[in-house]
Structure 1
Amino acid sequence: LVPDKSEWEVKPFDSAQSLKLKHFNRATGSILPDKVAKIRFAPRNGPGAWETAARKMIVRARDKGHLDFEDVRDCVADRLADKAFATRLGGALSGRFREIVVDEAQDCNPADLEIIDWLRASGINVKVVCDPNQAIYAFRGGLTGELVRFETTFASVDQLPMSGNFRSSPAICAAISQLRPPATRGGPDKAVGKHKDETAPVYILSYSGTAVPASIGARFHALAASLGIPPAQAPVLAATWASAGNAVGRAAPDAGNDKTLLLAEAAMGFHFAFAAGNRREALTRLHRVVLQVRGNLTNAGDYTTHVTTAGLDDGRWRPEIIEIGRALKVSLGESAADWLKRARALLGPNLVGSSTIGQRLRYNKKLETILAEVSPTALPSKAIHAVKGLEFPAVCVVLTAGTAGGILDVLSGTSTEPDSVEEARKIYVAASRAERLLAIAAPKSRAATLKAILGVDGHAAEILEL
């Protein structure tokens, strides 16, 4: 399976605007208007050239067996449309499996739910485990409404709510229950794990102005330290990398297509991953950038194709990239210029093409900021999507001035606006990563409303003015 096929570049000619395969209907090759509208794609002569290129790419990929999950879903749907075949296969699977458990079902899309329904209709006992409120990031296809409706297709005796929480403290359990929309809120989870006796309250860090200030990170650092929680285990999370970086005083610059900045970001991400737990993703990202620097890739979207055609999909590349990642660790007191000098020496051999390593890895004044992203005394800052599925002793979640109002309207039950519902789910996912300490940074004008929402089951959030 190809994990990043949707990111493949579609570019019919050199001067054409670059699109991704995710911007096209995989079955027809036609442009998806709602997708390209967000990137202001409006060619003078229409999208025909891009659609032709996309169709050729789709056919070539399938001929070579380069499939992703969307392709697999389409293939399954085509086969199950043959009712006679579907009945025979269902009978065979029913004879082979007594029970099938579908975990993390919040990431299912409607096509996946249809497959689950077919398994049930074939006579197999199917257990579906999910938290509908974690169905975030529409690009994955997870949709809360469909999951809630899907629940009603099970008999009431088979609808088994789970309320035992083995991760978080009682105060955090109470707070995260209130971060669900009222329609799917239910009662608070019960803390039953090793932190069930933790007494720390949930804190609301109230900040002034419209910009996310660095004082959020400073105050959260002190709160975590008071509980003996080291900075590396106390990330500051936000919907975007930029907001998270601002909250800890590190406004991460946009790397764009600058190979020096991309390499620095990947190297820093590699080292943070040992604390965060997302090592495979970080290692793949570093490998992709190294290939771009060496000239094996013209753009990041070609990564999977290169790995497959070069016969590297068995993972033989990993030891070298791990060594490169270790070698690119910033030394104590090392300047950005000295780090870049080491990076050039490390990646200088084995270049493809005529340009020198100095031409590929040019000095950029933003480099120093990126290399300072991770240090022994600094809090890690991450976008929420990077920590989904992980857990930490302490978590600070940042609500920005631009989205806080809409989020609180959703949590108050006065709004069902789709974008705000999505933003609210992100906050829920982020807060539910916390084990012992949870802080939520919010604009001063929204702090009292947030406190009122979070107060439940005898647990009152505490507002701290910044």
Structure 2
Amino acid sequence: MDPDRLLADLNDAQRAAVTSTAAPLCILAGAGSGKTRVLTRRIGHRVATDDADPRHVLALTFTRKAAGELGTRLRQLGMRDTVAAGTFHSIAFAQLRARWEERGIRPPDLLDRKVRFVADLLPRDVKAIDVVGEIEWAKARRVGPDSYVDAAHRAARTPPMAPHVVAEAFARYEATKRQRRMVDFDDLLALCIRDMGDPEVAAAQRWRFRHLFVDEFQDVNPLQFDLLRAWLGDRTDLCVVGDPNQAIYAWNGADAGYLVDFDRWFPGAESVALVENYRSTPQILAAANAVLARSRHGASLRANRPDGPAPLIRSFPSDAAEARGIARAVRDARAPNARWSTQAVLVRTNAQTALLSEALQAAGIPHRVRGGTGLLEQAEVRTALAGLRRHHGAFDVAIADLEATIEPEPTADPDDEAAAAPTDTSDAVAERRANLEMLVRLARDYQRIDLAPTSDGFLAWLRATVGSDAPDRDAVDVTTFHAAKGLEWPVVHLAGLEQGYVPIGHATTPAALAEERRLFYVAVTRAEERLLCSWAETRTFGQRTAQREPSPYLVQVEAALDDAGGDVSARRATLRAQREALRSGPRDRGRRRSGGAPTELDPADQPLFEALRQWRATRARAAGVPAYVVFNDATLVAVASRRPASRAELLGLPGIGPVKAERHGDDLLSVVAEHGRTPG
């Protein structure tokens, strides 16, 4: 490998990250900044300059797919199969197997299906999937059964059952595994840490892996971090890559603090930041940066792509109408001879995929639900469908019985329907309820089209309408925000952007809300060229229809779009010219704010201004936002004094961009028309 060729197509920050001699080194890589390229080039450059032996390199990541991509890129750089690239679990398992073979120990059986195993240990009224989620969180945080209750309380965790019930089930789980000589995936890491306490084992492992690299470091949990430190020992040859703004797995035990406070954990460490984004247009990045503008780490990605269309925000009267509208938008966005796989539809929860899948199927659009997250793959849905097939009564009775088994939502203010949706404090319970409510809703849809509905007919209809999966052919991806992490598409549709989903209703603590904001940021930054956002004014849960409100994050996106439509520099120049024209306008007779809008009005314009303020207050109350979010006073003053008669004239006023003109333009023009085109 030629070291210079490895650097030829890198920007200054990427080149600094690749060539830095610092150890340890932390590379803060924003979305779309080329982190995988930098990580593999750094490994390649160190090997090419004889600063590292590829046989002693360990590159760690979190999924088999990511590990495979790292290996592929390293082979393309000429390192063949000499570099070890894998997940924490795969490397730990290999180390343990070698140790067991060396000592003549029969390896324990690996428990890779926890839910069924745990179900056999629980009372019938306790859901195994809920207990498994809590066990995995606890083990990731290095919490045992005896300390679970206190740890869950300190973490403000709200399990779907009493903490002592979880602790008791956790203890039975661990004891039964020991009796049956079984280990789970987290046990592999803990056993590896234990073995590293043996000086001979530690010396051998540290001799083998001398140069450590970790991808997606913001997703490391305490168990993985302790194993990493055990592998590293007292050495400093460590390079990590991560982005605190893409930390979205704290609910599952991850701790982004290891990345954020890297220099505290590794004194003397240096950091390099990558902020040049090569994935998305300036318009999409403006929206993404705006979402995190007030967060702890902010977002300051800089675009390296040409201008594109401003992201579009649309509302629909219902969730069904939204699904149909997205199907039309997917078809409209497909260029001649283009592949369907250039588009994705992203949602916050698994349950939302079903309605979208049905609409895409009806429109004849090939699609797949990525990552096995489809409605029909969910455990509770499979159980419910099996129960329907065994039910001896009529189909409508079977569905009524199914609906009666759905866990009720916690008691809430009956007047607070705006935030209706999954509002439980548990991801698992809320997701399960939403999946079953969607199944009931689909059953009612099926009843309306089949005069003699049966359970078998319903299952066949489901497979034909929402069970579409096209893994081996060109298809639109339908997936959740979480599952979309690490992926990208030219065109992305974000659906269901409503309060209660984005952020999710059960996110109530500052930490949980901050993670929800980062999750939305991750979803936005999956888009390369076009971003289409939508929400529904009503949504049906089972047989209940609730009024909905747009996600509060859309306020930040909308504000960013007013400055990012089309050519950003040209837009700003136009705004400056318009403001100058307003300054010199004949009605500017009073003091002016720095933005150029008059702060005093001609008496003839005052009634119109007051009418505009009254309209703004009504609109703000309906949307649940402060009045200034709709329009500030300077904009209303400009409308009152200039009295626009068309959308084009509205766009010539300060504070009104294409998004606000689209959303509020007709109302503004109507208020102006009621007061006459000219004053007096």
Residue 301 (structure 2) aligned to one of 188, 191, 206: 188
Alpha-carbon contact 2:218-2:257 (below 8 Å) kept: no
| Aligned pairs for 1:397-408 within 5 A | 397-398=494-495, 400-403=497-500
Give the corresponding residue for 1:235: 344
Q: Are 1:39 and 2:39 counterparts?
A: no
Q: What does the per-residue CA deviation read over 1:62-121, in whole Å, with 9 as the maximum and x for residues that have no partner? A: 4655433322333244455x4xx3x65554444333311111222211232233344444
Give the corresponding residue for 1:23: 134
Q: Secondary structure at the match of 2:533?
A: strand
Give the corresponding residue for 2:28: none
Q: Secondary structure at the match of 2:301?
A: coil
- Residues 1:416 and 1:458: Cα distance change in structure 2 (over 3 Å): farther
Q: Are 1:458 and 2:561 counterparts?
A: no
Q: Secondary structure at the match of 2:312?
A: strand
Residue 393 (structure 1) aligned to one of 470, 490, 496: 490
Q: What does the per-residue CA deviation read over 1:361-386, in whole Å, with 9 as the maximum and x for residues that have no partner? A: 94264753553234999965322233
The CA deviation at 1:21 is 3.2
One-letter amino acid of the counterpart of residue 309, structure 2: P
Give the corresponding residue for 2:518: 425
Q: Secondary structure at the match of 1:441?
A: strand
| Aligned pairs for 1:206-221 within 5 A | 206-207=314-315, 213-214=321-322, 216-218=325-327, 220-221=329-330
Find the aligned partners of 1:97 and 1:375 in 2 and give their Cα distance.
41
| Aligned pairs for 1:261-300 within 5 A | 272=368, 276=370, 278=371
The CA deviation at 1:148 is 0.9
| Aligned pairs for 1:50-449 within 5 A | 54-62=170-178, 66-79=182-195, 82=197, 85=198, 89-154=201-266, 158-180=270-292, 182-191=295-304, 196-197=305-306, 199-207=307-315, 213-214=321-322, 216-218=325-327, 220-221=329-330, 224-225=333-334, 230-246=339-355, 250=359, 272=368, 276=370, 278=371, 362-363=455-456, 365=458, 368-369=461-462, 371-373=464-466, 374=468, 380-398=477-495, 400-403=497-500, 417-441=510-534, 447-449=554-556
For structure 2, the 5+ residue unaligned runs are 1-109, 387-445, 448-453, 536-548, 572-656, 665-680
- Residues 1:418 and 1:52: Cα distance change in structure 2 (over 3 Å): closer
The CA deviation at 1:396 is 1.4
Q: Secondary structure at the match of 1:39?
A: coil
- Residues 1:97 and 1:60: Cα distance change in structure 2 (over 3 Å): same
Normalising to structure 2: TM-score of the pair?
A: 0.43
Find the aligned partners of 2:178 and 2:319 in 1 and give their Cα distance.
47
Q: What RMSD in Å do the two structures reach over aligned CA positions?
A: 5.0
One-letter amino acid of the counterpart of residue 239, structure 2: K
Residue 5 (structure 1) aligned to one of 114, 131, 148: 114
The CA deviation at 1:160 is 1.3
- Residues 1:21 and 1:379: Cα distance change in structure 2 (over 3 Å): closer
Larger Rg: 1 or 2? 2
- Residues 1:10 and 1:28: Cα distance change in structure 2 (over 3 Å): farther
One-letter amino acid of the counterpart of residue 133, structure 2: K
Q: Secondary structure at the match of 2:368?
A: helix
The count of corresponding residues between Structure 1 and Structure 2 is 363
For structure 1, the 5+ residue unaligned runs are 253-269, 295-335, 338-360
The CA deviation at 1:178 is 3.5
Alpha-carbon contact 1:107-1:140 (below 8 Å) kept: no
One-letter amino acid of the counterpart of residue 21, structure 1: V
Find the aligned partners of 1:247 and 1:289 in 2 and give their Cα distance.
17
Q: What does the per-residue CA deviation read over 1:139-186, in whole Å, with 9 as the maximum and x for residues that have no partner? A: 432233443123554567721112243433343344334433532224
Find the aligned partners of 2:551 and 2:484 in 1 and give their Cα distance.
28
Q: Secondary structure at the match of 2:183?
A: coil
Find the aligned partners of 1:172 and 1:437 in 2 and give their Cα distance.
7
Find the aligned partners of 1:164 and 1:6 in 2 and give their Cα distance.
43
Q: Secondary structure at the match of 2:492?
A: strand
- Residues 1:406 and 1:239: Cα distance change in structure 2 (over 3 Å): closer
Normalising to structure 1: TM-score of the pair?
A: 0.60
The CA deviation at 1:420 is 1.7
Q: Which has the higher contact order (CA 8 A, sep 6+)?
A: 1
Identity %: 21
The CA deviation at 1:125 is 0.6
